[in-house]
Amino acid sequence: MAKPSSRQTLISYCKRQLGAPVLEINVADEQIDDLVDDALQFFQERHFDGVGKTYLKYKLTQTDIDRGKGTSGITTTTVSDGGIDYDYEEDSRYLPLPDGVIGVEGILHFTGSNNISSGMFNFKYQLFLNDIHYLGSTELLTYQMTQTFLSDIDHMLTTQKKIRFNQRKGRLYIDMDWNEAIAGEYLVLDTYSIADPATYSKVYNDSFLKRYLTSTIKRQWGMNLIKFQGVKLPGGIELNGRQLFDDAQKEIDAILDKMPTYYEMPPLDMIG
């Protein structure tokens, strides 16, 4: 039980940390469900173990290509404000992504069949085909320099596709020449996806998640008891919800202060 492997065992663990079953935790089940969802969302968006690099494939259809080529992908909505009508245009030429995707780094290189650098006309293919018999007598440094030069040519002729993505919208916009796209071709997306506890049950046993969720339940417990401040129970016992709330808030603040240095991936320098 000290290693939660499900949503309910995680809730039971947090309640025991707060004193259950010796003490009655005055937090409704609905409130705890909300706190678990919030804690999981915070874990998946901020913790380095909450996400992972994932490669997704998307099969282009002719409808996608036609929408990308023409103006049919632009929808116009008229909005009235103070008696004045405004035409709001929205670009609907996007690829829908699953809810679990929180970031897209790019698209792996791809070229259409009409590109001269694809297939048997690829520079690297021709070089390897012609020089395979001479590799035993070829200086490796010269071969490496030649490969680097060909990579530079490929980088100039086959540029990276520009993308735009927003997690809350779940839409991937690709700014490219859609005339190069071919129906049935696959796009390979370099993305970051959340660690879904429904698939990876070890998420529930994360030390950060257990400690953070326990503190948020404790804060909600104190918040519920604040309205009974000053009310004496039989035997002279007085509930101190304010103290419970303040203690929980200090615990949460301490966790958040450690977030950038202990649990988040450090920002990387951009070189270009």
User: Phi-psi bin for 249: left (phi > 0), alpha (psi -120 to 50), beta?
Assistant: alpha
Query: Are residues 11 and 142 located together in one domain of the fold?
Result: no
Q: Which position has the higher pLDDT, 4 or 144?
A: 4
Query: Are residues 183 and 140 located together in one domain of the fold?
Result: no
Assign 3-class secondary structure to the chain.
CCCCCCHHHHHHHHHHHCCCCCCCCCCCHHHHHHHHHHHHHHHHHHCCCCEEEEEEEEECCHHHHHHHHCHHHEEEEEEEECCEEEEEEEECCCEECCCCEEEEEEECCCCCCCCCCCHHHCHHHHHHHHHHHHCCCCCHHHHHHHHHHHHHHHHHHCCCCEEEEECCCCEEEEECCHHHCCCCCEEEEEEEEECCCCCCHHHHHCHHHHHHHHHHHHHHHHHHHHCCCCCECCCCCECCHHHHHHHHHHHHHHHHHHHHHHHCCCCCCCCC
> At 114, is the pLDDT very low, low, confident or very high (cuts 50, 70, 90)?
very low
Query: Are residues 169 and 99 located together in one domain of the fold?
Result: yes
- Give the mean model confidence (pLDDT) for residues 65-84: 66
- Give the mean model confidence (pLDDT) for residues 13-28: 94
Query: Are residues 82 and 71 located together in one domain of the fold?
Result: yes
235 inside domain: yes
Its domain, for residue 137, covers 116-157
Q: Which position has the higher pLDDT, 104 or 231?
A: 104
45 inside domain: yes
Q: Would you say residue 109 has pLDDT above 70?
A: no
Chain mean position to CA 228 = 41
Q: What's the pLDDT at 169?
A: 87
Number of structural domains (the chain) is 3
Query: Are residues 79 and 203 located together in one domain of the fold?
Result: no
Query: Are residues 98 and 185 located together in one domain of the fold?
Result: yes
Query: Are residues 87 and 39 located together in one domain of the fold?
Result: no
Q: What's the pLDDT at 135?
A: 57
Query: Are residues 128 and 232 located together in one domain of the fold?
Result: no
Q: Which position has the higher pLDDT, 179 or 117?
A: 179
268 inside domain: no
Average pLDDT of the residues of the chain: 82
This model's pTM is above 0.85: no
Instruction: Express each pLDDT in 26-74 by its tens digit.
Output: 999 999 999 999 999 999 999 999 999 999 999 988 888 887 776 555 5
Q: What's the pLDDT at 2?
A: 79
Sign of CA dihedral 190, 192, 196, 199: positive
Query: Are residues 182 and 102 located together in one domain of the fold?
Result: yes
Instruction: Express each pLDDT in 215-260 by its tens digit.
Output: 999 999 999 998 877 666 666 667 788 999 999 999 999 999 999 8
Instruction: Express each pLDDT in 202-219 by its tens digit.
Output: 999 999 999 999 999 999
